[in-house]
Chain A
């Protein structure tokens, strides 16, 4: 098992290297001089030349990459052109709302997805099963930002029960913080619960057909006990995989949801940075989120061996 974990940890290196190359390449997709584009039409040639030198754009591409990559390994993601601050610092300042939103949405998606999946499997081919699957299919087709607008319209504008926008740090009170997150995490979590429902259902169906489940029922254990203790535990590996994948989707979705609800998180920052042409910030955020995703997948894979000790690679 240790060998498997070591192998899995090492396999992350080439993936992260590709991530770094892609992020580095992003700035060079621009038609023309990135420095000129970043500074806009009113920039003097001297300003542009200074920024070019600052970003190292006047050096050969391979040197540029090497300098950028070396700084990256030291945790230096460069400075924001607009905010006049290190990119990493700007990201850390805005990390809390995004992490809270992603975590809450994942909770919503799992709390909807796993129970409906289990019930669908147990009651397979009944109206309950069909209802859950249809709702899921519909849910997966709703853009989260439209659902968000609808939730704002109903709960914030008409019923005036919940805040329609903004965020309150968790340090200022847990309930106050959660109040701001209820609508956004429903908007983001619900559409993403459909995949979890499906995978849970199919994974449970596989397990429910196994002999040991029939034996457990035959020896007189209650349906609930069999489903939860025998079946669900053994159906957990595919469910864990899809939860890990959902986490990545949610981090991407947070970009859109934060804009809908005006949440001052990393996603909002990346969209603002596009308008400001603040490339170092865009690159930094994309890099951090992709690395986080690689790391989470690693953790999920290692967790498999804990959940199911039979897994050996």
Chain B
């Protein structure tokens, strides 16, 4: 009996928490589903995303192909699942690269006044380019490949992370416990890692979520323009680019990849907003 009461009570607590953190839960659930789709793409469908069947081209949705087929007779559902794998891989890799380099640059700039000017002027210069334009220009030189998309987008996203981390580091540098650490002779490297970094984690996480959302959108744009991943890689942006020519005969080719992008980016934006409310209450009105 007592057991039941406590369970009820803890369920009530979970429910209250979920109501308060609705954005985080909804956004997190969406992203979890997309991640599962990406990981288990091979389990959810046994159709090869690149299997050509010209005889079955532009077929509307049916029991065999639940989202129809494209202009080469490839299964749209299967390509959608493998497209999720690509989006998630690129998104997570870009987040990893930009977070590592952005954090490093931001910490150094925020802590050492001498380095601040140099690093931040360079970051300002890089932020003068519209994201997608700089990514296109880099792709033009690097050539189409998944790794190169990650490199370009990682480079484009780093300055914003650096700026966020720097402004956190600037505030933390002036706190008394950092001053105390300095006074007792803790080395700067240790101060940065043990005191400044842990206190800058919240803005870093929030920024990482938005970077994830932006890189999913940016990868789709690059591939839509034909300057992203190579043609044989299933990508949502590339699917939309071919859907454009068959808009009238095969509208399903246009609907599903677009919805997939919207749902993924919306999930990440919700998660980012929720995390910001949770971790940084001062920004709640933004």
Contact = CB atoms under 8 A, between A and B. Distances in A.
Interface in A117-160: 137-138, 140-143, 145-146, 149-150, 152-153, 157
Contacts of B237: 143
A282 B140 contact: yes
B130 A29 contact: no
A218 B166 CA distance: 44
B270 interface: yes
Contact of A142 (B137, B224, B262): B262
A255 B225 CA distance: 9
Given A26-B138, A279-B141, A286 B129 contact: yes
Contacts of A157: 247-248
A11 B261 CA distance: 39
A153 B137 contact: no
B205 to A, nearest CB: 19
B143 A31 contact: yes
Contact of A255 (B124, B133, B141): B133
Nearest to A191: B217
Nearest to B144: A274
Contact of A143 (B140, B217, B226, B251): B217
Interface in A6-41: 14-19, 21-23, 26-31, 34
Interface string A283-310: 1011001110110000000000000000
A138 B265 CA distance: 9
Interface stretch (A61-69, A179-187, A246-254): A246-254
A273 interface: yes
B121 interface: yes
A271 interface: yes
A259 interface: yes
A87 interface: no
B125 A14 contact: yes
A143 B258 contact: yes
Contact of B254 (A153, A201, A291): A153
B128 interface: yes
A17 B125 contact: yes
**Dominant secondary structure at the B interface:** helix
A251 B248 contact: no
Contact of B266 (A19, A141, A294): A141
A287 to B, nearest CB: 9
A137 B133 contact: no
B266 A138 contact: yes
Contacts of A30: 141-143
B243 interface: yes
A26 B143 CA distance: 12
A29 B133 contact: no
B262 A146 contact: yes
A275 interface: yes
A251 B130 contact: yes
A30 B140 CA distance: 8
B31 interface: no
B227 interface: yes
Contacts of B130: 248-249, 251-253, 255, 289-290, 293
B286 interface: yes
Nearest to B121: A14
B273 interface: yes
A149 B258 contact: yes
B136 A260 contact: no
Contact of A270 (B131, B133, B285, B286): B133
B137 A26 contact: yes
B221 A290 contact: no
A141 B258 CA distance: 10
A28 B141 CA distance: 8
A251 B133 contact: yes
Contact of B121 (A15, A23, A31, A140): A15
Interface string A200-226: 011001100000000000000000000
Nearest to A146: B258
- Residue among A29, A30, A205, A251 with the most chain B CB within 10 A? A29
Interface of A: 14-19, 21-23, 26-31, 34, 137-138, 140-143, 145-146, 149-150, 152-153, 157, 198-199, 201-202, 205-206, 248-249, 251-253, 255-256, 259-260, 270-271, 273-275, 277, 279, 282-283, 285-286, 289-291, 293-294
13 contacts: A15-B128, A21-B125, A30-B142, A146-B258, A146-B262, A198-B286, A206-B285, A252-B132, A255-B130, A260-B244, A270-B133, A271-B226, A293-B129
Given A19-B129, A141-B265, A143-B224, 15 more contacts: A16-B125, A31-B143, A34-B141, A140-B265, A141-B262, A142-B262, A149-B240, A157-B247, A255-B132, A255-B133, A270-B136, A275-B226, A286-B129, A289-B129, A291-B128
